[in-house]
Amino acid sequence: MTAMSMGARRATKPGTRGNCARVRNPRNTLFAIAVGSFMTSVDDTVVYVANPSIMAELATDYHMVIWVTSAYVLAYTVPSLLVGRLGDRFGVKNLYLMGLAVFTASSLWCGLSGTIEMLIAARAVQGIGAALLYTQTFSIITRVFPPERRGAAAGVWAAVAGFGSLVGPLVGGALVDTLGWEWIFFVNIPIGVLGVALAVRFVPVLPTHAHRFDPIGVALSGLGLFLIVFALQQGHAAGWMPWIWVMIVAGVGFLAVFVYWQSVNTREPLIPLKIFRDRNFALCSVGVAVIASVVAAMMLPGVFYIQTVCGLSPTRSALLMAPLPIVAALLTPIIGKILDRAHPRPVVGFGFFVVAIALTWFSIEMAPTTPVWRLALPIASLGMGMVFVWPALAATATRDLPAHLAGASSGVYNAVRALGATLGSAGMAALMTSRIAAQMPPIHGGADLAALGPARAPPCNCPRLRASRSRPRCPSRCYCRRSLR
């Protein structure tokens, strides 16, 4: 059978609804869980523009403030496999509400933090809440919508999540510029309260499945994911010292032992390996890791170029990215209908092709003399490509898996996505650090550009850049252009 061939099936057996629960109006359920997905997706990116303000107000340095993001990523990724299975055991609605409550309460804690250590701890708790609720959203869609309607539902869900990630810098820039960094967390409180109310009303109580607890599997997977994600997050800051590589190798080793244990566990493994026999799920897991890695990798040089080379403020930088979510929002209803009628393979293939063209186009335009408006064209094209990829992968991944595996498959899917994003951002950070450090003059005081970050990079000393106030530019021989070429 060809790849994703099963994803094209739309018919179900007589008398069944494709392993999904009977819900009177699943659209209300989708709207309710979209609120939580949007809030967590915004928080994936909103902190980036607030880092300089956090550093200044909490009197800390980059090596500490980076943990505001790293703690969140670690706490989100490590328990992903477990929380998916817990949803099967204790109910996806219960886990979703718990995650939403934890996320909302920890947002208040983040905003009230007076020290960097307290903020890091609060962000770790927030990451756990995000893992609890976000993994359940994917499982809810799988179990509420029948296969013939799952494409449109997954399209809306993926578009909302993607829109939140892209709106994050815009919201963060506006709030930091006007009210202060604390409000990037306070704004979650009313949204979280609304999300809880909607979930209580519209998310159904779905059947649970009795699963045995697999403590060995939990320990092995948790250690493996922690070591890999921690090493990737801290690799560029630590100069990729030998101990970083030891952690990566050890993490891979723990995951290898975890896979072996799952294969020989005669009771009930944490992750039934039979889900990978479904070619749709296996290929979509690879696809989501690739697209997550690519998108995360382009964010760092993109923000560096727009803010440092083009001289745009965080708010204006986010406005420049607005075509991406706008195009995605306009195309989402169309893509959902296409997925419910067409084979997913050409849809995904076309999306990856457009993403590749858009990223190549954007990299060509990354020159100091490029008018800002021209950047909007490849950014809009990127949005078009992504809206073909994300919903198709999400809709196809679990289309043919039984309902009792929805939680496990959701946990794997989200863990793979998070690992892909971490790998992409860490790899690009290492590449940019080596390129920029090799081609720019030393910074006063011996500071490292990677430690300062793009938002605190020193300005170019060329006369043309200093003379321009409206839109700073620098000539072709400036380090900015050479390092980003």
pLDDT the model gives residue 292: 87
- Asked if 225 contacts 280 with a C-beta cutoff of 8 angstroms, the reply is no
pLDDT the model gives residue 438: 53
pLDDT the model gives residue 19: 53
pLDDT the model gives residue 436: 59
Split at pLDDT 50, 70, 90, the class of 200 is very high
Comparison of pLDDT for 303 and 390, the residue scoring more:
390
Structure tokens of 448? 């490292």
Over range 75-88, report the average pLDDT.
85
pLDDT the model gives residue 147: 72
pLDDT the model gives residue 43: 84
Over range 437-465, report the average pLDDT.
43
- CA dist., res. 225 & res. 221, Å (int): 6
Comparison of pLDDT for 256 and 169, the residue scoring more:
256
Over range 283-288, report the average pLDDT.
92
Tell whether the model's pLDDT for residue 2 goes beyond 50.
Answer: no
Q: Which of 469, 413, 468 is nearest to 136 (CA)?
A: 413
Quote the DSSP letter at residue 459.
Answer: P
Tell whether the model's pLDDT for residue 463 goes beyond 80.
Answer: no
Tell whether the model's pLDDT for residue 430 goes beyond 80.
Answer: no
The domains found in the chain, sorted by start residue, are 24-204+270-439 (1.20.1250.20), 215-269 (no CATH)
Split at pLDDT 50, 70, 90, the class of 21 is low
Query: Looking at the chain, how many residues does it have?
Result: 485
Split at pLDDT 50, 70, 90, the class of 22 is low
Over range 361-365, report the average pLDDT.
90
Over range 397-410, report the average pLDDT.
77
How many CB atoms within 10 Å of residue 438? Answer: 10
pLDDT the model gives residue 402: 78
- CA dist., res. 141 & res. 407, Å (int): 11
Tell whether the model's pLDDT for residue 374 goes beyond 80.
Answer: yes
218-230 pLDDT, tens digit per residue, is 899 889 988 988 8
- Asked if 134 contacts 394 with a C-beta cutoff of 8 angstroms, the reply is no
Least confident of 47-56, 121-130, 435-444: 435-444
Tell whether the model's pLDDT for residue 17 goes beyond 70.
Answer: no
Over range 53-73, report the average pLDDT.
83
pLDDT the model gives residue 408: 81
Split at pLDDT 50, 70, 90, the class of 435 is low
Comparison of pLDDT for 367 and 182, the residue scoring more:
182
- SS3 state of residue 32: helix
Over range 183-207, report the average pLDDT.
92
Over range 358-370, report the average pLDDT.
88
pLDDT the model gives residue 350: 94
Going from the C-alpha of 459 to that of each of 63, 360, 449, the distances in angstroms are 21, 27, 12
Dump the DSSP string for 143-173: HHS-HHHHHHHHHHHHHHHHHHHHHHHHHHH
Over range 360-378, report the average pLDDT.
87
Residue 269: HSE in the Cβ half-sphere, 13 Å Cα cutoff:
19
Tell whether the model's pLDDT for residue 216 goes beyond 70.
Answer: yes
Q: Which span out of 33-42, 82-91, 122-131, 390-399 was modeled with the highest average pLDDT? A: 122-131
- Asked if 117 contacts 357 with a C-beta cutoff of 8 angstroms, the reply is no
φ/ψ of residue 61, rounded to 5: -120, 180
pLDDT the model gives residue 443: 41
What are the counts of helices (DSSP H) followed by strands (DSSP E) for the chain? 20, 0
pLDDT the model gives residue 411: 83
- Asked if 156 contacts 336 with a C-beta cutoff of 8 angstroms, the reply is yes
pLDDT the model gives residue 208: 77
Nearest-Å Rg of the Cα atoms of the chain is 22
pLDDT the model gives residue 446: 40
Q: Which residue has the tokens 């607005």?
A: 322
- Tell me what percent of the residues of the chain surpass a pLDDT of 90: 25
Average pLDDT of every residue of the chain: 79
